[in-house]
Structures are given as C-alpha cells and as structure tokens.
C-alpha cells in the first residue's frame, strides 16, 4: 500500500558510507621507492684481476698483525670471486677496478661475494666497437686505473704496423695515460726507423729480444699499473712469462701465410710483479676503434700546435687545405715533424682496420 510499510519492516533511509566500507588493494609499484642505499661500512676492498662471464676475481689484502714488520710488497692476499650486486645496475666492472665487497669474502672454493661499489677511477682505457661490420660506435672499456700503456710491437715476424701504433697512442692520449713503446724481436730487424718515427711525439721506448736482458723494461714497470696492448704474435705473453715467472700465459707462433698471430690471451688479466707494480695483459688486437675520441682531444696532446689553430676556419679537420697550421709551422712556431705526427694521428681516427702486413 502506498505510503505504508510492511509489517515488521524498518523505515527505509539512505545509507551513509565511510572509508571503512571501501576495500582498496594497493597496486604494484605504489610504494614510494627510496634512494637511500646501504652504506656497506663493513665492506672490504678488492682489486679486480680478472673478469669471466659475470664473475669477478678480486684480490683482497689480508690484515697484518699489529706490530708486524712485514714489508708491503710481501703482503699476503687471497682471491675472492664475486658477482655484481643488483643495486649497481648496468655499471660495468673491468680489470683494474677497485671495488667494495660484502658477503662471503673468505675465498673458499664455491664461495661468492658481492661487489656493492666501484671506487672512482683514475683512468679508463677504452676503444670503440667500430671494427666490426655492424658499426655501433659503442665504447668498449678495456682496463681501469692504469697509469701506463705499453704498446708492444715486433720489428719483424710480424712486421710493425705504425698506423695501429698511432691509434693506440690516440686512445692513450684520450685516457691521459703515459705511453711506452716496447719493440720486440730486435734480433730480426733494426729499430732505428721506427724509433725515429715516434721521437717527435716524445714517446719513450725500450728495445728487447728473446732471451735478452729486460732490466730497462722492468725499471719502467716497477711500481706502476701497466697495461700491455699489441697485435697477436708480437711477444706480449712471452714477455709476461719472463717478468712474472708463475704467469703461465699461453704463447703461439705467427702464421707463415698471413703474417699474423693467433689470439692466445683470451681475456685481460692483472698480474703482480715480483718487485712491485702490476702488468695487465690483454688479448691481441687487430683493430682499435676511436669513434669516441674527438679531434680536440688529439690536438690537446700537441700543446705547441694548439695556438696555431686559432685562425683555422670553422670546422677545420686540420688535415686538408686551408688549415692554419701549415703557415704556423712554416713561420718556425712549431716543428714540421710534429705537425706531420699530429696529422698522422688524426688520419688514424678515420679508419678502422690496420694496414695489411708488408710483403
């Protein structure tokens, strides 16, 4: 009946809702993320000596007992294998990096620590990946914290390739690393011509041969972190085996048909020298991409020529006609051989592959 309500029923009224009546389930990612990361104050320091498929072999220095008179070069170490912590993201880790480790740092077999921090680097030697058919221009880090780059080249068998040496020098200038030219197999060919080619650049050099003395080379290496770079077959691994007797680096012969060596060192590895210092042996390379290096970076390695570029036309490559450096050198403001060296290095940036071996 209209206007009446059924027997026993309550008067109808509008219900009032509050927040307790609504059940809300938080969506994924609704929790605000914090940028605060663990400080890892208990982390131990390590030095990366090898990298293999996401596993980092690090050298951890053992604590010396208080009052010990043990010399630093006789300090005891242990090898700790670690993986990269997720919090580091895509940050790369290479041989030579100094890192912070947490977790199982005992070094026991099958143990695994975590790299939670990569300390600031003093240098980074890199090359661009433009030596393949699929040129991507991506930088490939090679070694961190090296303070000397040793360019190992044979004087014969295989013959020297100056253009390759030039490109490695450019990478060293970019990384602000000292350079040393190590000429091997001097018993097969004289070094004078190659030495004269790099004298205007101020590159130091040592000349060695198989079975000969290495005292001069040792003087350059002692107390430094040196990375050795060069073609396969030039004698890098042979030198390392003499300098570090327990290194056991594989060696090979040069191919009689191609004049090139096989890649016997398959990965970079840091080896401690008996008298102090480190050698980082790298796989033999046949090209050295420089897409990441600017013209200005190469020019900065020639302070005696920088002032002469002030009147160069805009966008000058310093290679062709119209470059003011020609008049600068002709006026006696710079050594013409230095200008020739600069242009040789700048030209080396444009190519990717090394010139074929001499016949």
What SS3 class is residue 56? strand
CA gap 77, 99 in Å, rounded = 15
Tell me which of 3-12, 33-42, 60-69 is least confident.
3-12
CB contact at 8 A, 162 and 197: yes
Asked if pLDDT for residue 356 goes beyond 50, the answer is: no
CA gap 205, 216 in Å, rounded = 10
Q: How many residues does the chain have?
A: 359
Can you tell me the mean pLDDT for 278-297? 80
How sure is the predictor about 359, in pLDDT bands with cuts at 50, 70 and 90?
very low
CB-count burial class (<10 Å; 0-12, 13-18, 19+) for 42: exposed
Tell me which of 81-85, 172-176, 351-355 is least confident.
351-355
Residue 34 burial (CB count, 10 A): 6
pLDDT tens-digit series, residues 294-337: 888 888 888 889 999 999 998 898 988 889 999 999 999 988 98
What is the structure's pLDDT at 321? 82
How sure is the predictor about 354, in pLDDT bands with cuts at 50, 70 and 90?
very low
Tell me which of 178-182, 219-223, 228-232 is least confident.
228-232
244 alpha carbon, distance to own chain's centre: 21
CA gap 270, 121 in Å, rounded = 16
* Interstrand relation of 178-184 and 148-154 (parallel, antiparallel or unpaired): parallel
CA gap 289, 171 in Å, rounded = 9
Provide the token pair at 306. Answer: 């920088």
Asked if pLDDT for residue 26 goes beyond 70, the answer is: no
Can you tell me the mean pLDDT for 220-228? 96
Can you tell me the mean pLDDT for 257-286? 72
- pTM: predicted TM-score of the whole model, two decimal places: 0.76
Can you tell me the mean pLDDT for 264-275? 80
* Helix spans in the chain (H): 162-175, 192-198, 215-221, 236-243, 295-300, 303-306, 325-330, 336-350
Asked if pLDDT for residue 32 goes beyond 70, the answer is: no
CA gap 245, 267 in Å, rounded = 19
Asked if pLDDT for residue 357 goes beyond 80, the answer is: no
How sure is the predictor about 63, in pLDDT bands with cuts at 50, 70 and 90?
low
């Amino acid at each position: 009946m209209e206007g009446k309500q059924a027997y026993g029923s309550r008067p109808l009224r509008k219900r009032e809702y509050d927040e307790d009546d609504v059940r809300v389930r938080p969506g994924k990612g609704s929790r605000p993320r914090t940028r605060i990361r663990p400080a890892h104050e208990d982390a131990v320091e390590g030095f990366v000596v090898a990298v293999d498929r996401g596993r980092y072999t690090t050298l951890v220095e053992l604590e010396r007992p208080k009052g010990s008179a043990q010399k630093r070069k006789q300090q005891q170490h242990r090898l700790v294998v670690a993986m990269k912590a997720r919090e580091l993201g895509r940050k790369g880790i290479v041989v030579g990096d100094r890192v912070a480790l947490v977790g199982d740092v005992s070094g026991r077999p099958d143990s695994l620590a975590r790299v939670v921090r990569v300390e600031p680097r003093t240098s980074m030697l890199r090359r661009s990946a433009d030596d393949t058919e699929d040129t991507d221009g991506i930088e490939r880090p090679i070694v961190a914290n090296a303070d000397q780059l040793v360019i190992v080249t044979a004087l014969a068998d295989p013959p020297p390739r100056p253009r390759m040496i030039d490109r490695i020098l450019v990478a060293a200038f970019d990384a602000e690393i000292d350079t040393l030219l190590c000429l091997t197999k001097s018993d097969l060919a004289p070094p004078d011509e190659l030495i004269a080619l790099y004298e205007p650049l101020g590159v130091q050099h040592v000349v060695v041969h198989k079975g000969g003395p290495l005292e001069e080379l040792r003087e350059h290496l002692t107390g430094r972190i040196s990375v050795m770079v060069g073609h396969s077959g030039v004698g890098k691994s042979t030198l390392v085996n003499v300098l570090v007797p327990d290194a056991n680096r594989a060696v090979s012969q040069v191919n009689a048909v191609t004049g090139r060596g096989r890649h016997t060192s398959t990965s970079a590895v840091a080896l401690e020298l008996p008298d102090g210092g480190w050698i980082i042996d790298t796989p033999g390379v046949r090209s050295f991409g420089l897409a990441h290096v600017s013209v200005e970076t190469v020019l900065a390695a020639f302070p005696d020529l920088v002032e002469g570029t002030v009147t160069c036309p805009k966008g000058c490559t310093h290679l062709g006609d119209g470059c003011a450096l020609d008049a600068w050198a002709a006026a006696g403001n710079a050594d013409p051989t230095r200008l020739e060296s600069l242009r040789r290095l700048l030209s080396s940036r444009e190519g990717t592959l090394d010139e074929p071996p001499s016949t």
